[in-house]
């Protein structure tokens, strides 16, 4: 239990020393922290597109979906090659949210249907 206390104290001390910056940028910090598990953060274009689309979807969410859940779902799906960066760019925030709500990626569905007709 001693190790947990030290880590909590260290985290608390860090927060106390940086809380103004953390509070101003918390959503961005969460998004980039999750993205770093799936996406190369050196690819600024990809990061910028993901950040913008995740943030917009999160801000429009009416079902109270957790920000981390939205990030994880999209980043994992991208890592698994279930959609392209272009698909994400072209998807509306409603398409993104519906995919998250249904746990079923539909970002490429529109293009598939257009090609059939």
pLDDT of residue 108: 66
Match 């993205």 to its residue by tokens.
Answer: 35
Question: 91: alpha, beta or left, given left = phi > 0 and alpha = psi -120 to 50?
Answer: beta
Helix runs in the chain, H state only: 2-35, 44-60, 67-79, 85-90, 93-102, 109-116
The answer to pTM > 0.75 is yes
Question: 39: alpha, beta or left, given left = phi > 0 and alpha = psi -120 to 50?
Answer: beta
Q: pLDDT tens across 4-39, in order? A: 556 778 888 999 999 999 999 999 999 999 999 999
Q: Per-residue confidence at 86, pLDDT binned at 50, 70, 90?
A: very high
pLDDT of residue 117: 39
pLDDT of residue 5: 57
Mean model confidence pLDDT for the chain: 88
Say which residues have a Cβ less than 8 Å from residue 35's Cβ, sequence separation at least 6: 41, 47, 50, 51, 71, 75
Distance CA 114, CA 111 (A): 5
């Amino acid at each position: 239990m001693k190790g947990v206390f030290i880590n909590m104290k260290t985290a608390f001390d860090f927060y106390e020393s940086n809380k103004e910056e953390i509070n101003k940028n918390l959503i961005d910090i969460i998004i980039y922290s999750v993205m770093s598990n799936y996406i190369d953060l050196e690819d600024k274009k990809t990061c910028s597109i993901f950040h913008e689309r995740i943030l917009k979807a999160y801000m429009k969410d009416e079902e109270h979906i957790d920000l981390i859940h939205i990030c994880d779902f999209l980043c994992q799906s991208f890592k698994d090659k279930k959609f392209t960066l272009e698909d994400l760019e072209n998807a509306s925030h409603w398409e993104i949210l519906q995919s998250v709500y249904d746990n079923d990626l539909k970002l490429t569905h529109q293009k598939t249907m257009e090609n059939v007709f």
